[in-house]
Amino acid sequence: MAVKKITKRWIFNSFGIILVLVIAIVIGVSLSVKSYYYNGVRQYILSRADSVSAKLVEYSQDSSTSFLSQVRRLVEEFEYKTQMELMAVADKDTILITSSGFEPTGGIEMPDYEAALYAQDGVGEYVGFIGNEKVMAISCLSRVVGEDLSAMRYVVSLTKVDEQIVFAIFLATLLGMCIIFFVIFSSSYFVNSIVNPISEMSETTRQIAQGDFAVRLEVTTDDEIGELCQSINNMAEELSLSEQIKNDFISSVSHELRTPLTAIRGWGETLMQEPAPDPETLRKGMHVIINETERLSSMVEELLDFSRLQGGRLKLEMERMDAVAELSDAVLMFTERARQENKTLTYEEPEFFAPVTGDHNRLRQVFVNILDNALKYSDPGDSVTVTTQLSEGQFVVCVSDTGVGISSEDLPKIKTKFFKGKTTRRGSGIGLAVADEIIAMHGGSLELSSQKDVGTTVRITLPLAK
């Protein structure tokens, strides 16, 4: 459908305009050629007429010879009678003599003579047919007064002139047709160079829309079409990667949800058994159920936040606040956990304030997420260090750990939504992506640097309130 539409647009727009222009040029050239040739014939006649008029004036001043006899001799001996016929006209119904040698007859229509009678310059012209022959006739009124001669009439056949005009028009038409054929050939190549790739793109994008992300377009040119093909290939690559990440995310989340649910269900069934378990078992079971419920709740909150971010529904309640206070509260929440897991959490609360404009709940969520990841991906005996500083109107927080680190292969994609690195540690893979979005909404940045089996450093930068 798209191919047909492009071809139709080309035919009705570009080719149609070119065709109209070529036709207009051919018609213009034809009219110009005709005008040129006819003007040439007209000037040729008028130049002869001026010479004849001068002789008539000369004859009128010669009293030794009869004026009409001299006119007769002039007409009979007219030197251009092979190119044109000269007639001496007495009135509209009477021709005195002609250069053709035939006796003049009455009743000849002479529209040029009648036109000359009313013309200011005394010259009348007629282009038309006399019998079956097309001619140009020009009548020039005599400047001699008191004689029976009224006008001299010149008649030229236009047959050969029209043949030359037809030949010139034929050449112009042939040239126009050559131009049209050249335009059709070159434009067809150009249109096909666009239509064929678009057809392939349409089929490829249809396959991509149906879930076939392995299909690729062949990039054969380095123009805009080639760039578009490359963009579609890149899109397919990104969609394939996103699909793989999404599937891994679903698998990971399913596993993460199944583990606490299994624990909750198992301890629930244990606590429901008869006889009732002893108080220590009951306390231990309730502790596991509460912890696993909190973990489920945290995962659900992450999923809800991610959904809000995707739909643009995450709203921040911005107010002036002290970012140091929120960071200190977050560190305090993990102090006991670090001690229980035999990990060192180092943090010296700064003496300065860090006034920022932000949502304190969301910023605390970011700090909690970063600290949770630092402890989660550290082993017993590792350390987590939190440092802060004010730098060029920015509040900078660095959270460094000596944990498992991130491979160079996974590091560029670690903030991608749904991405979860190759690790056995628990996690949904969207907490860091959500944290990065929240910091970006505050006008700041979240950057990671890491080395496998060495550790990871997360650097959070927030602009200070003015």
Angle at 62 between CA 60 and CA 68, to 5 degrees: 55
pLDDT lower than 50: segments of the chain: 1-2, 424
Give the span between the Cα atoms of 52 and 58, in whole angstroms. Answer: 10
Cβ neighbors of 198 (< 8 A, separation 6 or more) are 2, 3, 6
- 402 closest CA partner among 454, 449, 452, 448: 454
pLDDT at 44: 92
Q: Taking the complete model, does pTM exceed 0.75, yes or no?
A: no
pLDDT at 258: 74
Residue with tokens 């490829």: 204
Give the span between the Cα atoms of 157 and 334, in whole angstroms. Answer: 115
Phi and psi based region of residue 122 (left: phi greater than 0; alpha: psi -120 to 50; beta: remaining):
left
For the record, the structure tokens of 246 come out as 């999404």
